[in-house]
Amino acid sequence: MNTKYQCVTTAQEVLDYIGSSRLAAFDYETAPDEPYRKEPKAALDPAKAHIVGCSFSVKMGTGIYVPVAHRQGENIDQADFYDFLRDFLTNPNITKVAHNIAFESAFAYAKGIVIQPPVYDTMAAAQMTLKNAYEFRKLNECSLKKLATELLDEPLPTFADVTEGKFFDELPAHDKETVRYGAADSDFALRLYYLFNDWFDRYLPKHRYIVESIESPTAVYLGLMKKNGIPVNLPLMEQRKVDADREMERIKQDIQFIIGDVPIGANCSTQAFKNYLYQDLKLPILKTTGKNREAADDMTMILLKEWCDQNRPELSKLFSLVQEYRKWGKLKSTYIDGYMKYINTETGRLHPDIFALSTDTGRMNCQHPNCQNMPRKTNDPIGVRNFIKAPADHLILSLDFSQIELRVGAFYCRDEKMLETYRTGGDIHAATTSVIFGVTYEEAQDKHRADYKEQRTIAKNVNFGTFYGLFPKGLQNTL
């Protein structure tokens, strides 16, 4: 397709291009602020970067690039640009299209702008379409460059090809390649909008509704969440790091008292430790790896302890210590070292990436770091959830739907027992506890009963595991 891209430097020229269109794709180019020029990926961080330029497209094959903060060439007046951008992004009569609109949302929010519907995220649309007869596209298959090549048969130059190691604000604002690269992102997002909607209308009309009315507005708020971040108590994390190191050293000494000077490494999984178990102690091989080697994972430690309880009780303590050592090691590496690694030096907060459509179950996915899998208080001697600290004069609220997944499951499966339980205000986990453990429904609800918490946890694992595809073997392993 022949393209017509141009550079404009006034708000009026942008308005003239958009005209009366009720649909417009847009895209930012960003660069790090001066203190962070040497920090990897700082250009993607709204706390450490700024908008260098913005492109718009209202007709396929056309687009405009608006330089905002280039170091070479004429830029638009920034006050005029952000006044226009605020009006554009909050206009209820224009559908704002972007590829990965969460990114645009975060940078807009850094300027005090919350993008308002209608919106359309072509990355979300890509994930809601089939890449073949049997599979939906995964997140890593939905980059704009990949989709342009695969679906539109028009390869786009990479960022590295265009910038040649420079930041985008170091490129000449009016250079042909600068304008072409900037404007193409909006143009191709618009092309994907039409392509995906045509596919939805033909094959999965309900998915178009989901993208337009649910996933795209959600993506906007994911951007707001990333920008806001998670406030943490760094002094507490540093203290817990010292506590964890001390506790791991104590457990390590207890292990070495039993096994001598056999090196165990950071996770009790060295080859020397395996040799000690299977060659020196002559313990049975109860589990093997995919390469048919002796295993030493957590399940193996549990199995070996059970075997030693019956056959060599003097060794049972070793496997309890190993499990304890690994537990502390995981808590430290994942929730102390892992979190501290991602604390933003500008904000003092964690700003994880949050994805709405990257899991098979439909749950959100959180990365860099994963803040969705903090351990419960009952299984966490470190107190990881205490790392989150509300700012001064603020509160953090913990809100949760009451068994929303199981309610939805009961509705779609038309399970009469579950439906009746919810209709009458019953407790589904208590009902399952009653069946599994042979106690009365009233006993299963008694929070003061000795086995209440343990039995209820098992019942919850059964209920949720069943709905999330945990087959009998997986449920057995979980329990």
pLDDT tens string 269-290: 899 999 999 999 999 999 988 8
| Tally of CB atoms within 10 A around 167 | 17
Phi then psi for residue 194, to 5 deg, are: -70, -40
What is the pLDDT averaged over residues 200-226? 97
**Single-letter amino acid, residue 113:** I
| Tally of CB atoms within 10 A around 285 | 13
Say yes or no to pLDDT of 478 above 80.
no
| Amino acid 222: pLDDT | 97
User: 229-384: same fold as 4-227?
Assistant: no
Q: Which two tokens stand for residue 401?
A: 């739907």
Distance, CA of 144 to CA of 407 (rounded, Å):
37
What is the pLDDT averaged over residues 64-90? 98
Helix H or strand E segment including 202: helix 176-203
Distance, CA of 422 to CA of 424 (rounded, Å):
5
| Tally of CB atoms within 10 A around 93 | 7
Structurally, what CATH architecture does the domain formed by 229-384 represent? Up-down Bundle (1.20)
| Amino acid 477: pLDDT | 78
Closest CA to 29 of 40, 18, 43: 43
By CB atoms closer than 10 A (0-12, 13-18, 19+), residue 400 is exposed
Query: Checking DSSP bridges between strand 119-121 and strand 230-231, what pairing results, if any?
Result: unpaired
Report yes or no: 419 and 259 within 8 Å, Cβ to Cβ. no
| Amino acid 467: pLDDT | 82
Query: Checking DSSP bridges between strand 62-67 and strand 4-7, what pairing results, if any?
Result: parallel
Question: 233-243: per-residue pLDDT in tens?
Answer: 999 999 999 99
| Amino acid 476: pLDDT | 83
Distance, CA of 431 to CA of 440 (rounded, Å):
9
Say yes or no to pLDDT of 133 above 90.
no
Write the CB contacts of 126 (distance below 8 Å, at least 6 apart in sequence): 137, 141, 142, 147, 192, 196
Q: Where are the domains of the chain?
A: 4-227, 229-384, 404-478
Report yes or no: 56 and 66 within 8 Å, Cβ to Cβ. yes
Quick check: helix, strand or coil at residue 360? Answer: coil
Report yes or no: 219 and 353 within 8 Å, Cβ to Cβ. no
- 4-227: CATH superfamily: Ribonuclease H-like superfamily/Ribonuclease H (3.30.420.10)
Return the DSSP state at 211: I
H-type alpha helices, 29-153: 78-89, 101-110, 122-127, 144-152
Say yes or no to pLDDT of 471 above 90.
no
pTM check: above 0.75? yes
What is the pLDDT averaged over residues 63-83? 98
Return the DSSP state at 271: H
Q: Which two tokens stand for residue 249?
A: 């050293």
Closest CA to 237 of 349, 339, 153, 370: 339
Question: 33-67: per-residue pLDDT in tens?
Answer: 999 999 999 999 999 999 999 999 999 999 999 99
